[in-house]
């Protein structure tokens, strides 16, 4: 019998979707539903993103107003010769471009010599302070992490107390302790040692050591190191080491910052699973091997955090220098942070002060990136390849 077609069936047939796939390709059930679900999920994610930005917008506005905007303004000031008495964004501002940076890095003169001296002093401050405070903090944390140790709470408070004390107050106390007739020299005299005049001695400790060994004459250096220079100061001055006055500031900094880093290390040590230590003990591992192969690898992220915080803080040291010397004696305690302050507020050259601050910022970023590269987790190439392949398979299966 011939099939009968009704007007309704004809209309429905004309409205039916046309399959545009390849001939013989099987139909995919639920394709339209899957597409609709994908669109719905993307719309939901967009909605969540909008609400997220709405909630964080007050903090973003605060950070932009009080953090990003001042940095951009300071960057503009570093391109000016500005005394701070006028509007730096008006036509009265004397735009000098990169002259402030050239005066500090490439042009011979007092500005470059002072900046190089500040860099040298701060470099020795960083090289001595960061390892000492990190090593002392880790040692204290390992001692306080012993379960059989009594009075751990009291010891934690005692070690942490210098960190919460005002740096100005501690620096003032150190001024009295390390005077020529202070308590430190009095204690040294009991054992037959004549202490130096700590805050008035500009001699470098390495040059004093080499002079005591008869290798060089610290008063009249000659030869290759004295005949060559970098950034306006001789290589002998670069290699003479921190002054006796700077060593006093280093001792102060190590004493006042180790307590904070000790608590960070202690929290990380208490987070290490006891099963690792017990398994190492069953294998016959001694304490030194346990520290090297179990504890330190587990502390790698925290160690990077402590070293980074120490690096940033030591390159920005200001309080102790301001109270204990302000660059004296002989600019041997001068640092870039204090030089930036002095250029702006003492010499009324805010452009050069801002330029010093941005050079210091670039130096900190470079050293922090290098430190992260050194402390990165090194994975063997085969393991890295297998991990990448496993990640790719997981994503493909999803």
**In the numeric block, which tokens belong to residue 271?**
């987070």
**Sign of the four-CA dihedral 272, 276, 280, 282:** positive
- What pLDDT, in 10s, does the model give residues 173-220? 999 999 888 899 999 999 988 888 898 888 899 988 888 888 888 778
Of 168, 106, 103, the C-alpha closest to 343 is: 103
Chain mean position to CA 365? 8
Rounded Cα distance between 81 and 94, Å, is 5
Rounded Cα distance between 116 and 238, Å, is 9
Instruction: Please give the pLDDT value at position 149.
Output: 82
Instruction: Please give the pLDDT value at position 33.
Output: 56
**In the numeric block, which tokens belong to residue 151?**
């009075």
Cα dist from 263 to 118, 154, 230, 246, whole Å: 32, 13, 41, 27
Region for 328 from its dihedrals, namely left if φ exceeds 0, alpha if ψ lies in -120 to 50, beta otherwise: beta
Residue 370: count other Cβ atoms within 10 Å of its Cβ: 11
CA quadruple 235, 239, 244, 247: dihedral, nearest 10: 130
Cα dist from 187 to 58, 173, 244, 247, 249, whole Å: 57, 16, 18, 18, 19
Measured CA angle at 241 (ends 219, 207), to 5 deg = 30
Rounded Cα distance between 269 and 149, Å, is 15
Of 74, 26, 27, the C-alpha closest to 350 is: 74
Of 363, 358, 394, the C-alpha closest to 71 is: 358
Rounded Cα distance between 230 and 105, Å, is 10
What long-range pairs does 284-293 form, CB within 8 A, spacing at least 24?
291/142
Residue 235 CB burial class (10 angstroms; 0-12, 13-18, ≥19): middle
pTM of the model: 0.82
Instruction: Please give the pLDDT value at position 392.
Output: 54
Pairing type for strands 229-230 and 80-81 reads: unpaired
DSSP for residue 299: T
- Show the low-confidence residues of the chain (pLDDT under 70): 1-34, 378-398
Residue 45: count other Cβ atoms within 10 Å of its Cβ: 10
Instruction: Please give the pLDDT value at position 147.
Output: 78
Instruction: Please give the pLDDT value at position 334.
Output: 95
DSSP for residue 243: B
């Amino acid at each position: 019998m011939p099939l009968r077609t009704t007007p309704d069936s004809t209309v429905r047939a004309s409205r039916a979707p046309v399959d545009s796939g390849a001939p013989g390709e099987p139909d995919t059930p639920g394709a339209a539903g899957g597409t609709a679900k994908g669109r719905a999920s993307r719309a939901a994610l967009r909605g969540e993103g909008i609400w997220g930005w709405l909630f964080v917008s007050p903090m973003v506005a605060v950070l932009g107003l009080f953090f990003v905007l001042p940095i951009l303004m300071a960057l503009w000031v570093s391109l000016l010769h500005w005394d701070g008495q006028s509007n730096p964004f008006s036509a009265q501002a004397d735009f000098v471009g990169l002259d402030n940076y050239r005066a500090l890095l490439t042009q011979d003169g007092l500005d470059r010599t002072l900046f190089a001296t500040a860099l040298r002093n701060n470099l020795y401050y960083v090289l001595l302070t960061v390892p000492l405070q990190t090593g002392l903090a880790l040692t204290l944390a390992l001692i306080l992490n012993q379960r059989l140790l009594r009075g751990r709470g009291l010891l934690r408070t005692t070690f942490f107390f210098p960190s919460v004390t005002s740096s100005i107050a501690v620096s003032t106390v150190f001024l009295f302790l390390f005077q020529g007739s202070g308590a430190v020299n009095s204690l040294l005299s009991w054992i037959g040692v004549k202490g130096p005049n700590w805050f008035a001695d500009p001699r470098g400790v390495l040059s004093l050591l080499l002079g005591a060994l008869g290798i060089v004459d610290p008063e009249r250096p000659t030869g290759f190191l004295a005949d060559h220079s970098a950034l306006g100061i001789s290589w002998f001055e670069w290699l003479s080491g921190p002054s006796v006055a700077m060593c006093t500031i280093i001792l102060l900094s190590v004493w006042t910052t180790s307590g904070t880093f000790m608590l960070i290390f202690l929290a990380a040590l208490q987070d290490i699973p006891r099963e690792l230590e017990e398994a190492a003990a069953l294998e016959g591992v001694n304490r030194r091997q346990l520290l090297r192969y179990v504890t330190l690898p587990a502390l790698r992220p925290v160690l990077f955090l402590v070293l980074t915080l120490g690096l940033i803080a030591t390159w920005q040291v200001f309080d102790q220098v301001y109270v204990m010397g302000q660059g004296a004696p002989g600019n041997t305690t001068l640092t870039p942070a204090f030089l930036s302050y002095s250029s702006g507020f003492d010499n009324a050259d805010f452009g050069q002060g801002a330029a010093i601050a941005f050079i210091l910022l670039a130096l900190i970023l470079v050293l922090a990136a290098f430190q992260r590269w050194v402390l990165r987790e090194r994975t063997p190439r085969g393991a890295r390849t297998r991990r990448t392949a496993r990640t790719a398979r997981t994503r493909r299966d999803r």
